[in-house]
């Protein structure tokens, strides 16, 4: 079996709040090979972004528990101290495109300077040289080099998104975490960005962790799909298998709720709301909303069931 580039095992990230401990990421494992894309899909508040933050160690102040192992190139990066992590991992190995690109650019710095900044920080490159490289990076994402002198407010949403992607690319990391990279864009721009991401992936042999709530969009890019529900990965499968036939009832429902153009299909939805992550339901966390739930689901937590060829499902239906 091919060596994984990134191997996340038993990752936990709990937050302490006034109301109790929020189990945002609860025992997650996933692996990523070179040039591969894992799509992490799920509803809002299911822990997708927290997973991304846990991987790149961008933690809020109120962390209650942060445990597990993240093995990158055979090295456990969980063991690095913060300063080493900042210098050796962030942007060198893993970079990230944030949710809402409009807001992830500093309004008072020029676009080129911001793209160049990681180079100046990580490679001690001179400003002139870094700006030259920034120009190249901008061209790579389809923006004219002259835009290095523009301020963010002079750019459109799509352009900003491209700038943010250029920023993530500039240090040539192996892995890019894309956290809802297109959620604030119109569909045409969304398509453009998706094509750009695909092109970059092929050209630079990048690995993506693609976080989205849009299961249809995820199919554009994904080689593997991880479905998250209430802080857990409930299904992990190859894209070919998954999009044809999801196994977990939640994934099934998720697929059924995707609208299709001009077909008279009754859109399915999942009754109820995502559960509280402070007091998750006992047993299977999906059981209150699951149409197939039976007694066992309410009492025992399902374990991952191997359906073969890397397809895992956490559901008592398959046990």
Partner 1 sequence: MGAEGMELGFKGVLKELLAYKSGALGVVILVFLVALSIYTVVAIPYDKAIKLWRGEEEVWIENPRNAQPIWVKYWEYLRGRNLPETIKRDTSDSKQYGVYKSLRAIPGTNLKRLYIEFSFKYEYDDFPSEINIFFSSKFNESAPILRIAWEKPGGNKIELLDFIPRDKYDRLYLSIEHDVLKVLRSYVEEKLYALGKNPEVPLSVEKALFAVEDESMSSSLTVKPLKGTYKLIIEGLLFGKDSDVDARLIIYGKVYGMCGTDHLRRDLTIAMLWGLPIALSFGLIASLTITFLQLIIATISGYYGGWIDALIQRLTELYMILPFLPFLIMIAAFYKLDIWVILAAIIILNIFGGGIKSTRALVMQIKEYPYIEAARAYGASSKRIVLLYIIPKILPPVIPGLIGAVPGYVFLEAALSLLGLGDPFLPTWGKVINDSYRWGALYKGYYYWVLQPSFMLILTAFAFAFIGFALDKIVNPKLREI
User: Using CB under 8 A as the criterion, which residues of the chain lie in contact with partner 1 when the complex forms?
Assistant: 56, 58, 61, 86-87, 90-92, 95-96, 98-100, 103-109, 117-118, 121-122, 146, 149-151, 154, 164, 167-168
Nearest to 26 by CA among 281, 267, 200, 294: 281
Give whichever of 52 and 222 is closer to partner 1, judged by the CB atom: 52
Helical segments of 205-244, H only: 215-221, 239-244
- Gap between the Cα atoms of 227 and 41, Å rounded: 5
Give whichever of 33 and 132 is closer to partner 1, judged by the CB atom: 132
202: three-class secondary structure by DSSP = helix
Give whichever of 33 and 86 is closer to partner 1, judged by the CB atom: 86
Measured from the CB of residue 174, what is the shortest distance to partner 1 in angstroms? 15
Measured from the CB of residue 289, what is the shortest distance to partner 1 in angstroms? 31
- Gap between the Cα atoms of 196 and 177, Å rounded: 15
Q: Categorise residue 308: left if φ over 0, alpha if ψ from -120 to 50, beta otherwise.
A: left
Measured from the CB of residue 57, what is the shortest distance to partner 1 in angstroms? 9
Give whichever of 64 and 122 is closer to partner 1, judged by the CB atom: 122
Measured from the CB of residue 19, what is the shortest distance to partner 1 in angstroms? 20
- Gap between the Cα atoms of 209 and 55, Å rounded: 10
Give whichever of 164 and 196 is closer to partner 1, judged by the CB atom: 164
For 207, the enclosing helix (H) or strand (E) is strand 207-212
Measured from the CB of residue 168, what is the shortest distance to partner 1 in angstroms? 8
């Amino acid at each position: 079996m091919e060596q994984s580039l990134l191997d996340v095992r038993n990752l936990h990230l709990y937050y302490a709040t006034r109301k109790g401990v929020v189990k945002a990421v609860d025992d997650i494992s996933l692996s990523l090979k070179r040039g591969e894309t894992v799509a992490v899909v799920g509803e809002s508040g299911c822990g997708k972004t927290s997973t991304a933050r846990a991987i790149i160690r961008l933690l809020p102040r109120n962390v209650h528990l942060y445990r597990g192992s993240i093995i990158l190139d055979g090295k456990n990066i969980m063991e690095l101290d913060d300063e080493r992590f900042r210098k050796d991992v962030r942007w060198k190995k893993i970079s990230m495109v944030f949710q809402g690109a409009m807001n992830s650019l500093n309004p008072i710095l020029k676009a080129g300077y911001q793209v160049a900044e990681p180079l100046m920080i990580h490679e001690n490159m001179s400003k002139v040289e870094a700006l030259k490289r920034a120009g190249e990076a901008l061209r790579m994402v389809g923006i004219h080099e002259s835009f290095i002198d523009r301020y963010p407010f002079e750019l459109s949403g799509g352009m900003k998104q491209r700038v943010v992607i250029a920023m993530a690319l500039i240090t040539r990391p192996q892995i890019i975490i894309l956290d809802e990279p297109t959620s604030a864009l119109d569909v045409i721009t969304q398509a453009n960005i998706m094509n750009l991401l695909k092109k970059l992936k092929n050209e630079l042999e990048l690995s993506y962790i693609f976080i989205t709530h849009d299961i249809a969009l995820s199919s554009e890019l994904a080689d593997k799909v991880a479905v998250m529900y209430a802080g857990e990965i409930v299904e992990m499968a190859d894209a070919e298998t998954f999009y044809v036939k999801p196994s977990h009832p939640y994934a099934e429902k998720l697929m059924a709720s995707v609208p299709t153009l001009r077909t008279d299909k009754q859109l399915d939805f999942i009754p109820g709301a995502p559960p509280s992550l402070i007091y998750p339901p006992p047993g299977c966390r999906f059981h209150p909303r699951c149409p197939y739930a039976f007694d066992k689901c309410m009492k025992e937590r399902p374990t991952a069931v191997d359906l073969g060829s890397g397809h895992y499902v956490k559901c008592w239906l398959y046990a």
